[in-house]
Amino acid sequence: MKITNISEPMKELFHEIIVANELGGNKEHIYKFSDPDGVRTGKSGWSFGICQYDIANNPNAVLALREMDFTSDQIKDLRDQTGSTSMNHMDSKLQNNKDTVDRWDRRQLQECLDFPLLLCNEIGVEFASEESFLHIADYHNQFYMSRGGKLYQWLKKQTIEVAPEMIRAFKMSLPWGFKRPDDVERRYNTIRRIYK
């Protein structure tokens, strides 16, 4: 099946999926900084919001923080996870800018649906179900799907309808899949559960 537009029910499902996958379903974490890789290496940087904007890898995270009047030094501390600024102070600043965080989250959630759909339609991807596309949208939030990138090239080679299990297998073949197969499986199961 082809998917040509994003329905309101699909948007609602995707929102629920991201809350579950990124926050473990706990909305209290939206306005607190968290460490996505859990090891404070600075590889991922601190993250925030429903989408868990990764300060070290998502340029929109920095734009959002600038809009919230975080200083360049504070952003560098958050990106590098140096801890030279109090995280309580940083969390308070984030909580005082809830409207801005919410606006950037809405923008990211919409982009995770719109941009992968554009790319999939460019290369004529056939889906086994809407669930397959939601796995791709989740991938975009976590890794970013780019034109000509790994997922794009993989999808381009598919000669059958893309099923959720195929996307899980693709993710398992990536470095993250080797490092954290438990995370790939968790995200896959969450999407399956919410979609059903």
The owner of tokens 């995770």 is 112
* 27 or 190, which is more confident: 190
Question: What pLDDT is stored for residue 40 in this prediction?
Answer: 39
Question: What pLDDT is stored for residue 87 in this prediction?
Answer: 86
* 1 or 39, which is more confident: 1
Kindly report, residue by residue over 24-77, the tens digit of the pLDDT: 888 888 999 987 655 434 456 789 999 998 888 888 999 999 999 999 999 988
Give me the mean pLDDT over the 2-22 stretch.
95
Q: Is residue 86 part of a domain?
A: yes
Kindly report, residue by residue over 122-131, the tens digit of the pLDDT: 999 999 999 9
Q: Is residue 107 part of a domain?
A: yes
Q: What's the total number of domains in the chain? A: 1
Q: What is the 3-state secondary structure (H, E, C) of 95-148?
A: HCCHHHHHHHHHHHHHHHHHHHHHHHHHCCCCECCHHHHHHHHHHHHHHCCCCC
Question: What pLDDT is stored for residue 36 in this prediction?
Answer: 63
Kindly report, residue by residue over 90-115, the tens digit of the pLDDT: 999 999 999 999 999 999 999 999 99
Kindly report, residue by residue over 141-188, the tens digit of the pLDDT: 999 999 999 999 999 999 999 999 999 999 999 999 999 999 999 999
Question: What pLDDT is stored for residue 41 in this prediction?
Answer: 43
Q: Is residue 125 part of a domain?
A: yes
Question: What pLDDT is stored for residue 50 in this prediction?
Answer: 94
Q: Is residue 124 part of a domain?
A: yes
Question: What pLDDT is stored for residue 21 in this prediction?
Answer: 94
Q: Is residue 2 part of a domain?
A: no
Structural domain of 190: 8-195
Q: Is residue 73 part of a domain?
A: yes
Please say whether the beta carbons of 68 and 97 come within 8 A: yes
Q: Is residue 134 part of a domain?
A: yes
Q: Report d(CA 24, CA 80) in Å as an integer.
A: 24
Q: Report d(CA 20, CA 14) in Å as an integer.
A: 10
Q: Is residue 3 part of a domain?
A: no
